[in-house]
Amino acid sequence: MIIWTSVLVVVTGVFVVFTLLKPLTPPEELAYSRAFLRIRKQALSKTRRPFPVPARSPVDSDQRVPASHTAGPVAWEISREAVEVHLDCRPDSEIRLSKDAKQLRLNGSVCKRNTEITESEIRNESNGFSATVFKTAATSFTTDYISLQKGLNKIRILHYLKNGAREEHQLHAYVE
């Protein structure tokens, strides 16, 4: 054991000595790399675009939602095959996914204020897949990845609340 330790110390010491004895980078190279980074930064700033915000669909006049909420679920790709969807408070929602989408992760919160989730059931009725639901806070949740099939995926979201009420939502996810 002492021999191995000695070998490691010698190898590390040799590496450190060579690193310290290596000639310094010439100032011309540093200036070139700084100029390159400055030009690259300017080029990127010209090509940057604002993040696309989903269009708002009409909401019933008797339904009140904060102005910061969009009407409808918001989806974004994690990878070509996985999509994450943030649910809103509408009982029925629809999203269209690319043909490569094979999995879906849901997250959101309950719509009734000051009520805690006691239990949740989320199931893709089209293929029978039951999701594992994780509480991220007293009123919010996320799921594991839900398997999708081509075509229509009817996903039923059911929350049992601490006050005894139930909240049920349907999400229709179309995989083209």
- Give the helix/strand (H/E) hosting 122: strand 117-124
pLDDT at 34: 64
pLDDT at 156: 94
What does the alpha-carbon distance between residue 135 and residue 149 come to, in Å, rounded to a whole number? Answer: 26
115, part of any domain: yes
Task: Report which of 159, 132, 142 is spatially closest to residue 107, judged by C-alpha positions.
Answer: 142
- Structural domains in the chain (count): 2
Per-residue pLDDT tens listing for the chain (176 residues):
889 899 999 999 988 887 777 776 666 565 556 666 776 666 666 555 555 544 444 443 344 444 444 455 666 556 678 888 888 887 788 888 888 889 999 998 888 877 889 999 999 999 999 999 998 888 889 999 999 999 999 999 999 998 888 999 899 999 98
Domain encompassing residue 100: 74-175
DSSP code string of 39-97: HHHHHHHHH--PPPPPPPPP--TT----TTS-SS-EEEESSSSEEEEE--S-SEEEEEE
CATH code of 115's domain: 2.60.40
Query: Do 144 and 106 share a structural domain?
Result: yes
169, part of any domain: yes
- Is residue 95 within 8 Å of 174, Cβ to Cβ? yes
pLDDT at 67: 45
Cα torsion for 86, 91, 95, 101, to the nearest 10°? Answer: 60
Query: Do 84 and 32 share a structural domain?
Result: no
Helix locations, the chain, DSSP H: 2-21, 27-47
Query: Do 138 and 90 share a structural domain?
Result: yes
pLDDT at 153: 94
pLDDT at 97: 87
pLDDT at 149: 92
pLDDT at 147: 92
What is the reported pTM? 0.56
123, part of any domain: yes
93, part of any domain: yes
pLDDT at 80: 72
19, part of any domain: yes
16, part of any domain: yes
pLDDT at 6: 92
pLDDT at 47: 53
Residue type at position 70: T
What does the alpha-carbon distance between residue 154 and residue 49 come to, in Å, rounded to a whole number? Answer: 34
What does the alpha-carbon distance between residue 166 and residue 158 come to, in Å, rounded to a whole number? Answer: 7
